[in-house]
Amino acid sequence: MISYVRGELVQAMDTYAVLDVNGFGLRVFLTGRDLSALPPNGEEVRFHTYFMVKEDAMQLYGFLRPDDLEVYKLLLAVNGIGPKAAMGILSALSADDIRFAVLSGDEKTITKAPGIGKKTAQKLILELKDKFSLEEAFDKRLENAGSVPAGSGIMNDAKTEAVEALTALGYSNADALRAVKKAAVSDEMDTEEILKAALKNMF
């Protein structure tokens, strides 16, 4: 119903921000990550939104990135996860972290979110594992990075193979990708060289 809202930031509270949109003050609930990334009061900001109608209230949930909104909708589809729990997950974990945790069956990472225990994490992984693909996860990771460091414009075959090798060694996809990204690699390096450099980031 409401795809996004744009207006002047009036104030930010613990769980929401107030936005002045053409003279109307809108309360938009945000994740902790987005609250910490807000500009100063008085600046213009845009949120991609999810409008929820309850029996006793209407609430607007906002996200600075459309990708977070899409993952939020997927989380809401998981049995037992409501609006607040989904916001809590996206406050503790980025959309990228969630994708890689689900794809690798990484319950430990998901339980870092407040109120999410092992059983809920297992259910989340079970219900979302078919919603993501490794290729999409890499693409979104690069897209969400905003700007890609020189020399690593794309996730080339050698880097992808290095990530797969690390996961075969027992590391989660999320940790493997971080290690490869942190490694001082160039597009000229082969898989073995990248893997050796990435392993140094694991210890």
pLDDT score, position 51: 94
Architecture of the domain made up of 4-64: Beta Barrel (2.40)
Sign of the CA dihedral running 87, 101, 110, 37: negative
- Parallel/antiparallel/unpaired status of strands 24-29 and 44-53: unpaired
Nearest of 123, 61, 113 to residue 91 by alpha carbon: 113
SS3 per-residue string spanning the chain: CCCEEEEEEEEECCCEEEEEECCEEEEEECCHHHHHCCCCCCCEEEEEEEEEECCCCEEEEEECCHHHHHHHHHHHCCCCCCHHHHHHHHHHCCHHHHHHHHHHCCHHHHCCCCCCCHHHHHHHHHHHCCCCCHHHHHHHHHHHCCCCCCCCCCCCHHHHHHHHHHHHCCCCHHHHHHHHHHCCCCCCCCHHHHHHHHHHCCC
**Count of alpha carbons within 13 angstroms of residue 168, beta-carbon side:** 7
**Which sequence spans correspond to the domains of the chain?**
4-64, 66-132, 147-203
- The domain made up of 66-132 has a fold known as DNA polymerase; domain 1 (1.10.150)
Q: pLDDT band for position 1 (50/70/90)?
A: confident
What percentage of the chain has pLDDT greater than the value 70?
Answer: 89
| Residues 38, 18 contacting (CB under 8 angstroms) | no
Confidence band of 195 (pLDDT split at 50, 70, 90): confident
Q: Which of 54, 194, 200, 78 is nearest to 127 (CA)?
A: 78
Structure tokens, 8: 């002047």
The predicted model gives 45-74 an average pLDDT of: 93
In the predicted model, what is the mean pLDDT of residues 167-188? 71
d(CA 9, CA 30): 13
Look at residue 200 in the predicted model and tell me its pLDDT: 81
Q: How confident is the model at residue 173 (pLDDT cuts 50, 70, 90)?
A: low
Residue 140: what are its φ and ψ, rounded to 5°? -65, -35
pTM of the model: 0.69
For residue 199, what pLDDT is reported? 85
**Do 66-132 and 147-203 share a fold?**
no
Q: Average pLDDT for residues 161-180, to the nearest whole number? A: 74
Query: What class is the 147-203 domain?
Result: mainly alpha
Q: Give per-residue pLDDT as tens, 40-51.
A: 899 999 999 999
Cα-based distances in Å from 8 to 131, 158, 182 = 35, 45, 37
